[in-house]
Amino acid sequence: MILKKNFFIITAHPDDLESGCGGLVSRVIASGGSVTNLILVKPSAEHNEKRDQLIVSAELEKSSKILNFKTIIYDTPLHENGRPNLILSNNLISYVESHINKHDILISNWKEDHHQDHRVCYDVARSVARKGFEQFWCIDSPLYNLHYKQFDCNHYVDITDHVQQKRKALESYATYFSDTSIDTIINYNKFRGSFLGENKVAETFHLMYNKI
C-alpha cells in the first residue's frame, strides 16, 4: 500500500506542508508510513510584525506534533536585512541529496506557484528525483494555485477522515492563517473531494512519474 511508504516532502516554508498536503500526511502516519519534511526557508525575519523566528519555530513544532512528521530545516542564507535568500545551486541540491535515506515517495511544490521560493523547491525536487524514488508528486497548493495552466490533477488522495487533523495543524499557525484562509483551503479540498463522491474531501497532486 502506497500510504505505508516513506515520504520525503520538500517545501519552502513552515506551513506549506500543512496547507498543501496535511491530510495526506495524517493519513500516511495513520497507515504506518513515515513523513520527512525538508524545509528550505528557515524561520527568520518576517514582514509580518506578529511573527518572528521564535514564533514561527514554535508554530512549526506544534503542527509537527499534531501530524507526527519529522522536520529538517536548511540553514538558508540571509540578506543583510535578515530575510531569507533561497537560491538554486549545486550546493543546495547536494545538501538535499544528503538527507535522502530509503525514502520512496518524493513530493514538492509545483513550478507555477506564484511564490519564488516554491519554484526553487520544484527545481530542487526535479534534480533529486533521480535518487531512486518510486514516485514524484507535485502539490496542488491552495492560495498559490490561482494561475496554474499546466497542472494536471491526476492523483487524488481521500482525506475525508483526516481533514480535522489538517485543520488543527493549520490552526497551529495562528499568526499566519486566518479562519477565512483556513476555510478557503478546506473548501478547496471539499471541491476536489466532490470528484470522489458525496461529502468527500481530497488533496490533489500532479503525479510526475510512477516507477512502481
DSSP the chain: -GGGSEEEEEESSTTHHHHHHHHHHHHHHHHT-EEEEEESS-S---SSTT--HHHHHHHHHHHHHHHT-EEEE----B-TTS-B-----HHHHHHHHHT--S--EEEE--TT-SSHHHHHHHHHHHHHTTTT-SEEEEE--TTT-TT-SS----EEEE-GGGHHHHHHHHHT-TTT--HHHHHHHHHHHHHHHTTTSTT--EEEEEEEEE--
Describe the strand order of the beta sheet including 155-158 as a list of residue ranges. Answer: 70-73, 34-39, 6-11, 105-108, 135-139, 202-210, 155-158
Kindly report, residue by residue over 37-87, the tens digit of the pLDDT.
999 998 765 666 777 788 889 999 999 999 999 999 999 888 887 778 899
Amino acid 45: pLDDT = 55
Q: Is the pTM of this model over 0.85?
A: yes
In this structure, is the dihedral angle defined by the CA atoms of residues 51, 53, 58 and 61, taken in order, positive or negative?
Answer: positive
Please give the chain's pLDDT, 212 residues, in tens: 899 999 999 999 999 999 999 999 999 999 999 999 999 998 765 666 777 788 889 999 999 999 999 999 999 888 887 778 899 999 999 999 999 999 999 999 999 999 999 999 999 999 999 989 999 999 999 888 888 999 999 999 999 999 999 999 999 999 989 999 999 999 999 999 999 999 999 999 999 998 86
Calculate the CA dihedral of residues 143, 120, 83, 79 and round it to 10 degrees. -160
Question: Cell numbers 504506518 label which residue?
Answer: 32
Amino acid 51: pLDDT = 76
Amino acid 146: pLDDT = 85
- Fold classified for 2-210: Rossmann fold (3.40.50)
Amino acid 191: pLDDT = 97
Domains of the chain, by residue range, sit at 2-210
Amino acid 46: pLDDT = 60
Residue-wise burial string across 28-52, b where 16 or more C-beta atoms lie within 10 A, e elsewhere: bbeeebbbbbbbbbbbbebeeeebe
Distance CA 149, CA 121 (A): 19
CA distances from 10 to 3, 21, 158 (A): 17, 11, 21
